[in-house]
Amino acid sequence: MSQPTLVSLAVQDGVGVITVNNPPVNALSAGVPEGIATCLATALADPAVQAIVLIGAGRSFIAGADIREFDKGRVTMPIGDGFIDKLDASPKPVIAAIHGYALGGGLETALGCNYRIALRSAKLGLPEVLIGLLPGAGGTQRLPRLIGPKAALDLITTGRHVPADEAKALGIVDEVVEADLLPAAIAFAHRVAAHRPLPQISANASKLAADPGLFDATRKAIARKARNQKAPYNCIAAVEAACTLPFAQGLAREAELFRELETSAESRALRYVFFAEREAAHVPGIPPNTKAPAVQSAAVVGAGTMGGGIAMCFADAAIPVKILEASQEALDRGMARIRANYETSVKRGSLAQDEMERRFARITPVLDYAALADADVAIEAIFEEMAPKQAVFRQLDAVMKPGALLLSNTSALNIDEIASVTQRPDVVAGAHFFSPANVMKLLEVVKGAATSAATMNAVMAMGRAIGKLSVGCGNCDGFLANRSRAPFGMEMVILLEEGALPQQIDKVMVEFGYPMGPVAVGDLAGLDIGWAARKRRAAADPNYRKQPISDRLCELGRFGQKTGAGWYRYEKGDRTPHPDPEVTAIIEQVSAEMGITRRAISDEEILHRLLFASINEACKILEEGIAYRASDVDVMWLHGFGFPRYRGGLMFWADQIGVKTVYEQIQRWHQLYGSRWAPSALLRQLAETGTAFKDAKAG
């Protein structure tokens, strides 16, 4: 069967309409740039054609270069050679007609045209920086010429999508229409067919005058977010070149700066993450694009921090939600916390007052389970104890309408044990939100033994509907996220016993790219939560490895920021962690009691002991089939634990070190430290076969 035509030309009413048809998003895959150039040449040679419209078929204009092509060893720009310059030099007017998205090379294509018309619902942008690149098809040279360097820097260094109305206000788009894009574009073409000279962005330097301090100020402004990264700075350098060099030299400088990025570890990692986040949507046993019933109403049991945050997720997605508590007083407290959360967003300017009221009104506090009966989904979000959770599920099982999803927000407890108290275990699953639930994007969707494929599909879709990144996994103690993170936490405590201090561990991990050190994160979350969990585990498991330093801090009432002291000391009203000599003394005291001779531990040993411990556990989770693919571990670590995105994720980063190197180091620590470092069978197999972690297959 012949390839469907990627790019076609049809002449309508003296207008040559070039249509790009490369589903799903009209990426500039091989053949598309060439097709545009061929159709353009044909249209220019046709005397019947007075003007040209370039439009996308299906759901979008052009969403950019084909990101998959970068890793196919293509050294030149993956968007064909200079087809945009051919558009730019066209003697007949070319109008880009934009719907859906015009992103990256797509917007750069539109900037090569003389005019741009867009549907009001369209979004435009240059998001290359988000995958560790820069607009490498003239965008860093044309956009500043169109809207000025300051506005161009904002779009290029943030990669944000700009709605059509804002694009018009900025001057990127000439006209915004409500509907009927093609007829409007053809009418526009007729209006400008005789206009001369044609507007040519590359020839217009009138807006390039930049405040000389602009570029240094921008470099300073992005420094925190752009830490350890190159792309944001190359973006700035490329725009600076637009303001200091003639167009042709500026293009050459842009290409040079682009090439520095295309093969960088940062861009390879960010391009990997782009696809890993999309791959996570696929749960084994469920064909892609299987429709799921939309959740139109929700119920949350428990109005604590998590329950309130979960209720906000539904209200924010315009889904009415009821929230239940055991007493009026608890309910009032929960509602007050929700209102306070919204008021903080209004104060910050990220939420309008009237929108806040609309969202708050979608949350209905109730005291009676019967009031939840007609919700499409009920999410239990009470404290982490099995018996009370089972009691909630018995109540839900008794009242919820047939077909309702019965979900638990538990972060580790056995989904099968929860499902076992209901008559409908097939609709029971885990929906593990991360705190704060209304902010964190990750939703860990846990499949119990009896959970049906339809339920998994429905919960994954529900997560996406409320703006979450749903990642599926199997049922075990701690599921995928917390189980893979547990060895990191244990190793951190042991490093403290052996010779490290909190401030050293945090410095290592912040320099690696975490936004906050793991020890300081404990103080933020509250040390009492972990203390309660440790006491429960110690009671249940005599072999449980105690954490005497952490316990000692808690026995002293040092629960972290909430008590003004934890691992660190805090000044009133200030969240800055200050190393505390008292804590150093406690640590040294415990080391002595444990008979440990403290030693200096290198930063590299800290980094590798923390992360390799979790890599080994992740391999076990994969070999047991609890994780469906290694990239799901990475997506969880990026969105659940703040692992730096430009390093790709725990397993992608491990691949940069090499499976064999990781394996041999773990073997050495196994000799030195005993069973907790026993290499997983999968890790050994990957090392022996030379298979990358990212290609590790679930058991």
Residues that bind ligand T1G (CB under 6 A): 24-25, 27, 63-68, 77, 79, 101, 103-105, 108, 127-128, 131, 133, 135-137, 139, 275, 278
C-beta of 105 vs 640, nearer to ligand T1G: 105
| H or E segment to which residue 353 belongs | helix 353-361
How distant, in Å, are the alpha carbons of 114, 202, 371, 396, 529 from that of 368?
63, 66, 6, 11, 29
C-beta of 139 vs 430, nearer to ligand T1G: 139
Tell the smallest beta-carbon distance from residue 276 to ligand T1G (Å): 10
CA atoms of 302 and 16, how far apart (whole Å) = 61
Q: Could you tell me where the DSSP H helices lie in 375-501? A: 386-399, 415-419, 453-465, 481-498
C-beta of 281 vs 509, nearer to ligand T1G: 281
C-beta of 127 vs 334, nearer to ligand T1G: 127
- State the Cα angle at 204 between 198 and 205, rounded to 5°: 175
C-beta of 127 vs 489, nearer to ligand T1G: 127
- Exposure pattern of 566-579 as b/e (b: 16+ CB <10 Å)? bbbbbeeeeeebee
- On whether the CB atoms of residues 313 and 438 are closer than 8 A, the answer is yes
CA atoms of 445 and 432, how far apart (whole Å) = 6
C-beta of 53 vs 137, nearer to ligand T1G: 137
CA atoms of 451 and 454, how far apart (whole Å) = 8
- On whether the CB atoms of residues 445 and 430 are closer than 8 A, the answer is yes
Tell the smallest beta-carbon distance from residue 19 to ligand T1G (Å): 18
Preceding omega of 183 cis (within 30 degrees of 0): no
Tell the smallest beta-carbon distance from residue 289 to ligand T1G (Å): 8
Residues 6+ apart with CB under 8 A from 441: 467, 468, 469, 639
Say whether 128 is catalytic: yes
Distance of CA 155 to the CA centre of its chain: 19
Tell the smallest beta-carbon distance from residue 120 to ligand T1G (Å): 17
How distant, in Å, are the alpha carbons of 494, 587, 605 from that of 608?
14, 22, 5
- On whether the CB atoms of residues 431 and 455 are closer than 8 A, the answer is no
Name the DSSP class of 351: S
Q: Which of 34, 69, 128, 593 is catalytic?
A: 128
Tell the smallest beta-carbon distance from residue 373 to ligand T1G (Å): 34
How distant, in Å, are the alpha carbons of 171, 409, 428, 511 from that of 626?
51, 18, 17, 31
Which tokens go with 35? Answer: 């097709």
Q: Which residues pair with 697 in a beta bridge?
A: 629
C-beta of 67 vs 226, nearer to ligand T1G: 67
CA atoms of 556 and 75, how far apart (whole Å) = 60
C-beta of 260 vs 416, nearer to ligand T1G: 260
Q: Which of 34, 108, 355, 384 is catalytic?
A: 108
Tell the smallest beta-carbon distance from residue 112 to ligand T1G (Å): 12
Nearest to 530 by CA among 546, 543, 516: 546
Say whether 175 is catalytic: no
Give 19-50 as a DSSP string: EE--TTTT---TTHHHHHHHHHHHHHH-TT-S
Name the DSSP class of 294: P
Tell the smallest beta-carbon distance from residue 131 to ligand T1G (Å): 6
CA dihedral of 326, 329, 332, 338, whole degrees rounded to 10 = -70
Tell the smallest beta-carbon distance from residue 105 to ligand T1G (Å): 3
C-beta of 136 vs 518, nearer to ligand T1G: 136
Tell the smallest beta-carbon distance from residue 109 to ligand T1G (Å): 9
Tell the smallest beta-carbon distance from residue 273 to ligand T1G (Å): 12
Do β-strands 115-119 and 175-177 pair in parallel, antiparallel, or remain unpaired? parallel
C-beta of 79 vs 273, nearer to ligand T1G: 79
Other Cβ atoms less than 10 A from the Cβ of 13: the count is: 13
How distant, in Å, are the alpha carbons of 504, 549, 550, 606 from that of 600?
11, 18, 21, 11
C-beta of 36 vs 67, nearer to ligand T1G: 67
Tell the smallest beta-carbon distance from residue 103 to ligand T1G (Å): 4
- On whether the CB atoms of residues 586 and 624 are closer than 8 A, the answer is no
Task: Cite the beta strand spans of 547-590 per DSSP E.
Answer: 568-569, 578-579
Positions marked active-site:
108, 128
